Amino acid sequence: MLLLSAAGAGGRVPARFQIDGGGGDSKHACSLLPRIIDSLSHVTAPLLELAAPDTGEAMASGGGGERKVVLITGCSSGIGLRIAVLLARDELQRYHVIATMRDLKKKDRLVEAAGDTFGKTLTLLPLDICSDDSVKKCIDSVKDRHIDVLINNAGVGLLGPVESISMNEMKKVFETNFFGTVRMIKEVMPDMKKRRGGHIIVMSSVMGLQGVVFNDVYTASKFAIEGFCESMAVQLLKFNVKLSLIEPGPVHTEFETKMMEEVSKMDFPGADPDTVRYFKDVYVPSSIDIFEAMGQTPDDIAKCTKKVIETSQPRFRNLTNNLYTPIVAMKYADETGGLSVQTFYHLLFNFGSLMHITMNILKCLTCSCLRRRTISPD
């Protein structure tokens, strides 16, 4: 088991219409199908237009030219730190950033990166998203509890054979990645609904869309938060509150380095020798290849997040890495799930050497601007 701090598509789901005529009259039902689909197209067309991203920028300041208040969780390093600094250094000074972290002793890196913005467009508050009292105290300390944009970035990763992971370790992941995020949303949502405005952003992952071997618990926590947000987004629209998911793939943070250091020291008790061997000798090398070929930087994710904030009609889902779009699309191309499961199985266990070669070719053929390409709201 490996427990690490971590910061962290497109594809249309195929629909199948199955009509039961009640008395088994399938021919009659089938004759109705074209008319039903035609009727649905008239209903969904205007909805799709409403859901389409708006290329215009939203005003990043409130009435009277006041800065938007942006509260970000998990700012001691990685993605959270880079988002906080990017917004605080906005040339037009449109944001007042409240950067938070559980342990203020880890503030030095953020303070150094913020430079002269610290104490001006960026302030720092302690926050433990796993504590009801800490969350309430933090939000209460904000003037009028007014938060325009909440960015839920804090999270933890859990990696390794599931047999070697205790239930308590699994619960810790869900307490942070799921319940911690829900706790933050619950605290700010009533005020946003009352004001009829606000934007909630959740740092999810491509693993919230596609399961990845040996990331079972982490993937489950991201699937959970994606489902929660998908449900909440519908309700929040009624109150003019936006909700957006940011879905990175591999990101070059301290996670990768720590993973390699820890894996070499672990025995993974409870897991059989074959599984441990597959993890150490097959998964880990493949994972490193993918990180090197397809990985983005925290700055890339920060820029993507800023674009989402500044779009007047932001997308609900924002996949940051275009190289992952085919992987996600493959999942939705087969409603049985067999295509993606079998494909990943063969890539990992039967064609590992081919995958290694492919990743190396990808590194050579794709320039850094493509590997690090972020989504654009337009």
Annotated catalytic residues are 218
3-state secondary structure (DSSP) of residue 98? strand
Tokens of 314: 């932001």
| The dihedral formed by the CA atoms of 356, 362, 365 and 370, expressed in degrees to the nearest 10 | -160
Tokens of 128: 């433990």
360: nearest Cα among 294, 284, 280, 279: 294
Residue pair 183/189 in contact by the 8 Å Cβ criterion: no
Across the chain, where does the E strand assignment appear? 2-5, 68-72, 95-101, 122-126, 149-152, 156-159, 198-203, 241-247, 317-319
**Sign for the pseudo-dihedral over CA of 98, 99, 103, 105:** negative
Query: Could you give phi then psi for residue 41, rounded to 5 degrees?
Result: -65, -35
Residue pair 283/214 in contact by the 8 Å Cβ criterion: yes
CB atoms within 10 A of CB 28: 12
For tokens 């039961």, the residue is 20
Rounded distance between C-alpha atoms, residue 277 and residue 190, angstroms = 50
Residue pair 100/124 in contact by the 8 Å Cβ criterion: yes
How does DSSP assign 5-28, residue by residue?
A: E------PPPP------SSS-HHH
**Left (φ > 0), alpha (ψ -120 to 50) or beta: where does 265 sit?**
alpha
Rounded distance between C-alpha atoms, residue 132 and residue 30, angstroms = 54
Identity of the residue numbered 9: A
Using DSSP bridges, classify how beta strands 241-247 and 156-159 pair: parallel, antiparallel or unpaired.
Answer: unpaired
